[in-house]
A and B are shown apart, each in its own frame.
Chain A
Amino acid sequence: DTEVTQTPKHLVMGMTNKKSLKCEQHMGHRAMYWYKQKAKKPPELMFVYSYEKLSINESVPSRFSPECPNSSLLNLHLHALQPEDSALYLCASSQAQDTGELFFGEGSRLTVL
């Protein structure tokens, strides 16, 4: 069982809606990540938080807004999305600064109508 929990598992939203994806981990990890994955493609890095501060933003459009309220929680706020934003959104966490071992959740599958 994954130790990174993502909610909701599925989300359908219109282009004018505002919604949020949530991610939680209780492994004491201090880095948390958002990835976007389209069908049959590799995960693409969106954002990284390190010690609750945004450390990497891969030029993601402002309609995606990340938030890290504390070291265990990571949110992705969604507003005015486009149909092409439909994808699997994966959250991950990692323990230390010198490892590429990420622990992924099962993802939130987003459909934008």
Chain B
Amino acid sequence: GESVGLHLPTLSVQEGDNSIINCAYSNSASDYFIWYKQESGKGPQFIIDIRSNMDKRQGQRVTVLLNKTVKHLSLQIAATQPGDSAVYFCAEIPDSGGYQKVTFGTGTKLQVIP
């Protein structure tokens, strides 16, 4: 989603349901994508990554899907828990600058309703 002004896109999910957070990227040459979670008052925390030669990767309770055709990335969280409440950022490595140029996209705030 896109942020407007000072408002982050927000996704509200009932505890126990699955969450899907979406991200659109603009650089078709980017070949490596990462999801980060940022809890209030903390720095971002790595969740999962995916390279462009894959379209799906699974971790513990999380799945990342990559659709290069439409330049879209999604993060699926299974059985969402209150501890999942945070802002989620997708990040990409552009084709220049090497692996160090981790560029964050607009975040999505996930609110888990108990």
Contact = CB atoms under 8 A, between A and B. Distances in A.
A48 interface: yes
Given A40-B6, A105-B43, A98 B102 contact: no
Nearest to B92: A100
B26 to A, nearest CB: 14
Interface string A1-35: 01010000000000000000000000000010100
Interface residues on A, range: 20 to 34
Interface stretch (A65-73, A79-87, A89-97): A89-97
A56 B44 contact: no
Given A39-B6, A56-B97, A106-B42, A100 B102 contact: yes
Given A40-B7, A42-B106, A100-B32, A55 B46 contact: no
A90 B43 contact: yes
Contact of B44 (A45, A90, A98): A90
Interface of B: 3, 6-8, 32-34, 41-46, 49, 89, 91, 93, 97-107
